[in-house]
Amino acid sequence: KKLLKIDDGAASDPENGFIVVTQVGSQTFGIVVDGVFHTEEIVVKPMSTKLRHIDMFSGNTILGDGAVIMIIDPNGIAKALGAAGSSAHDMADENAAHHIGSGEQTTSLLVFRAGSSQPKAVPLGLVTRLEELPADKIEFSNGRYMVQYREQLMPLVAMEGVTIASQGAQPILVFADDGRSMGLVVDEIIDIVEERLNIEVGGSSSGILGSAVIKGQATEVIDVGHFLPMAFADWFTRKEMKPSLHSQSVLLVDDSAFFRNMLAPVLKAAGYRVRTAGGAQEGLAALRAQSFDVVLTDIEMPDMNGFEFAELIRSDNNLGAMPIIGLSALVSPAAIERGRQAGFHDYVAKFDRPGLIAALKEQTAGAAGASELSRAAA
């Protein structure tokens, strides 16, 4: 309120407030707010010329009920933090550089309970929304549970051992793609943590990738790809997404089986033919044995990191023109510059699915056009 110069005369209640955790670049800070209503997709309108000098706002929009609201600009708030913010920003850059140098890779994970007291986790980047829906809004139709959600019916899938609540609120993890949503029913949402993800024991049951130590406790990491088709059987095989004979081919290189298993279905669902490799040497062998349109490579790999892998590809006369996209959980200015020097065409955060698909489309556009011309000439 002080930064925005808002004074409604009401005293804030420190016991019942909320903190919106915001990240601008590598700088993270919290915005204290009085309440949180819901999420909504909006179209941002430009600011009036009389208000453009106020850095705290980036625009405004009209909600469905006709109300006009201002859009807060996190960059403006970060700028207003002044020296304290700059100091924190510098420390964050140093930490990011340290993580890259040490090979440490952290992942944002949503920790929850479902069906037992043992915690479970899923990469936060895969989750569209966290909801607590009133139990009386959950309906049973056509042999399954569903809820009217954002003007459409959303199927609900309960994990093994989970009983859908008959009263109170029901925690839901919402996954969405291409205009469709499904809700994964859980017992309790515990926390969001940044942790180095290392699956040490493989999963022995369907829907579980394996177990990892998260915050000092053995935690099951779930396989989201197992639950999505339970809501929509054609989630990964819709007609418009089926790879054609002339689909672009992608080589996905990552030493983590977890990330290979997570990203490969996403890429296939987007229409790409995908081959995976468990490391740089295996990836290099695949490149020399088969033709690909683009390479996706992890940065933090043990024997040869992604930067070295890219430099090796660039030094090969037959592969020098190959588009390369770097994947990392740490996207900092220093890492992006290092990737540019190594020969990356683009650099994307591992859990930025829209950004990854957009980068792939951009890098394969030339190959697609050439293929069309070749087929037309034939």
pLDDT attached to residue 287: 92
pLDDT attached to residue 12: 57
Counting Cα atoms < 13 Å in the Cβ hemisphere of 36 gives 13
Same-domain check for residues 244 and 355: yes
Q: Residue 79 is which amino acid?
A: K
Q: Does 12 or 117 have the greater pLDDT score?
A: 117
Mean of pLDDT values over 328-343:
80
Same-domain check for residues 60 and 188: no
Same-domain check for residues 289 and 166: no
Mean of pLDDT values over 108-129:
89
What is the rounded CA–CA span in Å between residue 322 and residue 304?
18
Number of domains in the chain: 3
Mean of pLDDT values over 355-375:
65
Asked which of 210, 231, 252 is the last residue of a domain, the reply is 231
In a domain, 86, yes or no: no
- Per-residue pLDDT reduced to its tens digit, 166-201: 899 999 999 887 678 899 999 999 998 888 878 888
In a domain, 87, yes or no: no
Domain boundaries, position 192: 107-231
What is the rounded CA–CA span in Å between residue 241 and residue 268?
8
Mean of pLDDT values over 356-369:
75
Same-domain check for residues 260 and 359: yes
Q: What percent of the chain has pLDDT over 90?
A: 24
In a domain, 91, yes or no: no
Residue located via tokens 């002080």: 2
Same-domain check for residues 227 and 353: no
Relative to beta strand 273-277, strand 294-298 is unpaired
Same-domain check for residues 134 and 260: no
Same-domain check for residues 325 and 285: yes
What is the rounded CA–CA span in Å between residue 4 and residue 54?
9
- Per-residue pLDDT reduced to its tens digit, 70-106: 888 888 888 777 644 555 555 555 554 444 444 456 7
Q: Could you give the C-alpha distances from 312 to 152, 174, 309, in angstroms and in order? A: 49, 41, 5
Same-domain check for residues 212 and 248: no
N-to-C CA span, the chain: 66
Distance of CA 257 to the CA centre of its chain: 18
Asked which of 231, 256, 272 is the last residue of a domain, the reply is 231
Residue located via tokens 């698909």: 357
- Identify the burial level of 55 via C-beta atoms within 10 angstroms of its C-beta, where 0-12 means exposed, 13-18 middle and 19 or more buried: middle
Asked which of 231, 265, 282 is the last residue of a domain, the reply is 231
pLDDT attached to residue 13: 60
Res. 127 pLDDT band, cuts 50 70 90: confident
Same-domain check for residues 246 and 371: yes
Taken as a whole, the chain contains a residue count of 378
Per-position b or e across 187-197, b if 16+ CB within 10 A of its CB: bebbeebebeb
pLDDT over 80 at 65, yes or no: no
In a domain, 95, yes or no: no
DSSP 296-331: EEES--SSS-HHHHHHHHHHSTTTTT--EEEEES--
Same-domain check for residues 250 and 364: yes
Give the helix ranges, DSSP H, for the chain: 74-80, 83-102, 224-231, 257-269, 280-289, 306-315, 333-342, 353-377
In a domain, 97, yes or no: no
- Per-residue pLDDT reduced to its tens digit, 9-44: 555 565 667 888 887 766 788 888 888 776 666 677
pLDDT attached to residue 26: 67
Same-domain check for residues 243 and 149: no
Residue located via tokens 């950004």: 355
User: What CATH number did the domain enclosing 171 receive?
Assistant: 2.40.50.180
Same-domain check for residues 303 and 373: yes
Return the axis-axis angle of helices 224-231 and 257-269, rounded to nearest 10°.
Answer: 30
Q: At a CB cut-off of 8 Å and minimum separation 6, what does 34 contact?
A: 12, 13, 17, 18
In a domain, 263, yes or no: yes
